[in-house]
Amino acid sequence: MTKTWWKEAVIYQIYPRSFKDSNGDGIGDLGGIIEKLDYLADLGVDLLWLSPIYQSPNDDNGYDISDYQDIMTEFGNMAQFEEMLEGIHQRGMKLMMDLVVNHSSDEHHWFQESRKGPDNPYRDYYIWRKEKPERWPSFFGGEAWEYDALSGEYYLHLFSKKQPDLNWENPKVREEVYEMMRFWLDKGVDGFRMDVIPFISKRLHWPEVDWNDFPKIVEEVYANGPRLHEFLQEMKRKALAPYDVTTVGEAPGVPPALGNLYVGESRKELDMIFHFGHMFLDWGPGGRFDLADWDLKAFKGVFNEWYTALGEEGWVSIFLDNHDFPRLVSRWGNDGDYREESAKLLAILLLSLRGTPSIYQGSEIGMTNVALPSIDDYRDLETLNAWTEAKEKGEDLDQLFLAIHQQGRDNARTPIQWDDSAQAGFTTAKEPWIKVNPNYPAINAAAVLAKPDSIFYFYQKLLRLRKQYLTWVYGEYEMIDGNHPELYAYRRWDEDGEFYFYLNFSETELTELPGPPVEEMELIIGNYPDQEYAHLRAWEARVYRRV
Ligand code: ISL
Ligand code: CA
């Protein structure tokens, strides 16, 4: 296994709109990030990933970009960007930008030109068809092909209507993207997280698809297209190779068996991918708002399968939540009586599976899902589109509202709770762009910073342990008692050491711990103040080193 800085690094994802507002307009911004760099350095993370900060009409909060080489006016300007980058580097951290090049905004001048008609020089920057391919569903509801009256044809948008897909078959598009990447690389950024990168190569025979099996459509029609790997290799050669930077591809629709095509070391494509299996365990066939139960066995199975499939050849980035999913403690843990314990347990898991961990902002203070009282409080277009669609179809809105509370993307997008003052100290404005979670008086950064055994310091400690014990990074991984419905136990080992991880994903007291007698091992960290050797209490997690 080759050793590199990005395997040893820990990512911290910032969703700038909700991180910290520095100028009182209710919207997080670069000034806010600059204010909090010491906080992040103190936590001990290495690589900051910023969700998009480019010019955007914000149909999808910046994932619809109208100018790739300018900073979103609401977030600040290029001078502030440079100040921020310098501040990050001064503190020994690195910066990863979000690269959203499957699609642009419809307000990008390329699309404005492209719409004008078949003779426009930008026509082939996007994907136009006189006849509409049938039954292609978009991720955000409705069809993925939209009629454009000005041009008299249909264009493809896998996401919202305001996110037309770029035509990667056109070499000019590819050159534009590489040039834009070099613009940021020359400024000194340290890498890219690539939005839905498996989707950039399209299946040009435009197959008709079975509308009812969305995950299958994603995997077999939208992702892993015929020229994908050619494009990624070209991107590596033409844009990335001369720089010492790293890349993480967001990889929905990529099954484990295809993983090494993306991240296999010899392929020279991407360094890592975010794999998705666990993110869909609690989705029914109807998708995100079709609530289903998940079970620990399947959850463990996802990580096992990826570990086995990649072997010593490829690398992943591990995430348990991000800006598109519920908060990790609410989804995989218990955000009621055992919020602290289960948040710490999940921190152990996140930081000790094989792969580069990605911490989502707010996890380190134990932030939870939110149940905002009215649909009018919601901002995410996926949520709002689902609501409109359900209303039109006369579906059960109460049930949908429950599902929104449980699964909606805005769960992860409420402002970071900095302290217990008005608006959680996120903004001095009367109203932030989205409501603050009402639990902020109890759950906030000031509170965890004042409490020595808090979730924050637990993360800090784990981050140090990960640096101290590189076995947690490079060591082999083996699940123990994989069929256990409540216990997630595993072993990590190499020539420098051997570690046993015991995580109780339940309130049931577990009395039989598999593996060597724990009395004979050294306790490295645990989420209870003491250890009762033979028992793993509710949501208890302990890590041992064999001596
Ligand atoms: O959340 C999902 C579907 O509802 C995922 O299946 C999918 O990974 C996600 O929609 C893709 O996410 C990325 O691209 C989107 C953007 O809205 C997300 O915020 C971004 O992370 C379009 O750019
Ligand atoms: Ca602001």
We report the CATH number of the domain holding residue 89 as 3.20.20.80
Query: What per-residue confidence (pLDDT) applies to 415?
Result: 99
Q: Residue 77 and residue 362: Cα distance in Å, rounded? A: 25
Query: 531: burial class by Cβ within 10 Å (0-12, 13-18, 19+)?
Result: middle
Same-domain pairing of 284 and 226:
yes
Domain for residue 464, yes or no? no
Q: Which of 321, 41, 32, 48 is nearest to 191 (CA)?
A: 48
Query: Is 92 within the bounds of a domain?
Result: yes
Contacts of 398 (CB under 8 A, 6+ apart): none
* Alpha-carbon gap, residue 299 to 281, rounded angstroms: 7
| Residues 427 and 340 placed together within one structural domain of the fold | yes
Are residue 148 and residue 195 in the same domain, yes or no? no
pLDDT of 428: 98
Whether pTM > 0.85 for this model: the answer is yes
| Nearest atom of ligand 1 to the alpha carbon of 60 | 17
Which domain-ending residue is among 94, 126, 156? 156
Pocket test for ligand 1, best of 15, 17, 196, 317 (most atoms within 8 A of CB): 196
CATH number at residue 142: 3.90.400.10
Round to whole Å and give the CA distance between 46 and 351.
13
The answer to whether position 465 is within a domain reads no
Question: Do residues 14 and 152 both lie within one domain?
Answer: no
Same domain, 318 and 276: yes
Q: How many domains does the chain have?
A: 3
Same domain, 179 and 127: no
Could you say which of 427, 458, 489 is where a domain stops? 458
- CA 452 – CA 241 distance, rounded (Å): 44
* Phi, psi of 490, rounded to the nearest 5 degrees: -155, 165
Residues with a beta carbon under 5 angstroms from ion ligand 2: 21, 23, 25, 27, 29
Residue nearest to atom 3 of ligand 1 (CA): 139
Question: In the chain, which residues have pLDDT < 70?
Answer: none
Q: Are residues 265 and 338 in the same domain?
A: yes
The answer on 481 and 402 residing in a single domain is: no
Q: Give the pLDDT confidence score for residue 524 in this predicted structure.
A: 98
How far apart are alpha carbons 165 and 149 in whole angstroms? 18
81: CA distance to ligand 2 center in Å? 14
99 and 114 belong to one structural domain: no
pLDDT at 213: 83
pLDDT at 212: 81
Instruction: Choose, from 143, 153, 195, 410, the residue flagged as catalytic.
Output: 195
As for ligand 1, residues whose beta carbon falls within 6 Å of it are 60, 63, 100, 139, 159, 195-196, 250, 252, 288, 323-324, 382
Residue nearest to atom 2 of ligand 1 (CA): 324
pLDDT of residue 346: 99
- The rounded Å distance from CA 402 to ligand 1 centre is 21
250 in catalytic set: yes
**In this structure, is residue 354 part of a structural domain?**
yes
Q: Hey, is 501 helix, strand or coil?
A: strand
The catalytic residue among 153, 250, 271, 341 is 250
Q: Which residues constitute the domain of residue 342?
A: 7-103+171-458
Asked if residue 377 and residue 252 are part of one domain, the reply reads yes
Q: Check whether residue 401 and residue 508 sit in a common domain.
A: no
The Cα–Cα gap between 66 and 106 comes to: 7
Distance separating alpha carbons of residues 97 and 48, to the nearest angstrom: 8
Alpha carbon of residue 471 to chain centroid: 25
Known catalytic membership, residue 195: yes
Residue ID of nearest Cα to ligand 1 atom 7: 252
Q: Do both 348 and 447 map to the same domain?
A: yes
List Cα–Cα distances, 404 to 6, 137, 327, 329, 434, in angstroms. Answer: 35, 20, 13, 17, 15
Q: Does residue 162 sit within a domain?
A: no
Counting Cα atoms < 13 Å in the Cβ hemisphere of 104 gives: 23
